[in-house]
Amino acid sequence: MNFRDPDSMNLVIGNVLRYGVLLSAAIVLFGTLLLAASNGFGDSSDFLTYINNQVPHSSFYVSFSSLFNGLASLNAFAWIELGVIVLIATPVSRVLISVFLFAAERDRLYMAVTAVVLLLLLFSMLVTPFIPLFQG
């Protein structure tokens, strides 16, 4: 593929977004069907009272090991969480791949711009949640 052709960059980035979204939607749908099959005919107001009272801790899995266990045991919430993680990872992958696409175009200015955006993004997503300054 010729990355110097601006169309091919649009195509690659467009496809990263498209397949990320489709994968995420498929996983969330699977989780939602599991949820409907297991709990779907319970009363939502009981459930809403239950989750609203859980602030600030929702029923999402926090650790990776509990997430894997949940996926293995076909837990609806674990599958939905995986789908949401794929959805959040989609724009991040788009920025990551852009760094390489600009590198292939030998466009150093934009390679630097996207690399800085990627670093800021990863810092914000993965580091700031654990710094007390950001927990207000």
Partner 1 sequence: MLIVEFIILIFLFSIAAGVFGSIVGLGGGVVVIPVLTILFGVNIHFAIGASIVAIIGTSSGAASTYVKDRVTNLRVGMFLELASTTGAITGAAMAAYTDSSALKIIFGSILLVTVVLQLMKLGEDIPKSPELKGLSKQLGLKGSYIETDGREIQYNATRPVSGLAGTAVAGVLSGLLGIGGGGFKVLSMDMAMKLPMKVSTTTSNFMIGVTAAASAGIYFVRGDVDPLIVAPVALGILIGAAIGARVLMRSKNPTIRKAFALVLAVSAVEMILSAVGVIS
How far, CA to CA in Å, does 134 sit from each of 56, 88, 100, 122, 127?
Answer: 15, 20, 31, 15, 10
Q: Which of 4, 68, 100, 128 is in the footprint of partner 1 by CB under 8 A?
A: 128
Query: Is 64 near partner 1 (CB under 8 A)?
Result: no
Q: Which of 5, 51, 68, 69 is in the footprint of partner 1 by CB under 8 A?
A: 51
Distance CA 98, CA 107 (A): 11
Query: Is 113 near partner 1 (CB under 8 A)?
Result: yes
Positions in 23-42 near partner 1 (CB under 8 A): 24-25, 28-29, 31-32, 35-36, 39-42
Query: Is 17 near partner 1 (CB under 8 A)?
Result: yes
Q: Which of 4, 5, 74, 124 is in the footprint of partner 1 by CB under 8 A?
A: 124
Query: Is 69 near partner 1 (CB under 8 A)?
Result: no
The CB-of-34 to partner 1 minimum distance in angstroms stands at 10
Query: Is 1 near partner 1 (CB under 8 A)?
Result: no
Query: Is 97 near partner 1 (CB under 8 A)?
Result: no
Count CA atoms within 13 Å of residue 61 on its CB side.
20
Asked if 82 and 67 count as a contact pair (C-beta separation under 8 A), the reply is: yes
Query: Is 18 near partner 1 (CB under 8 A)?
Result: yes
Asked if 77 and 70 count as a contact pair (C-beta separation under 8 A), the reply is: yes
Query: Is 96 near partner 1 (CB under 8 A)?
Result: no
Taking each helix axis as running N to C, give the angle between helix 76-104 and helix 64-72, from 0 to 180 degrees, rounded to the nearest 10: 120
Q: Which two tokens stand for residue 117?
A: 């955006």
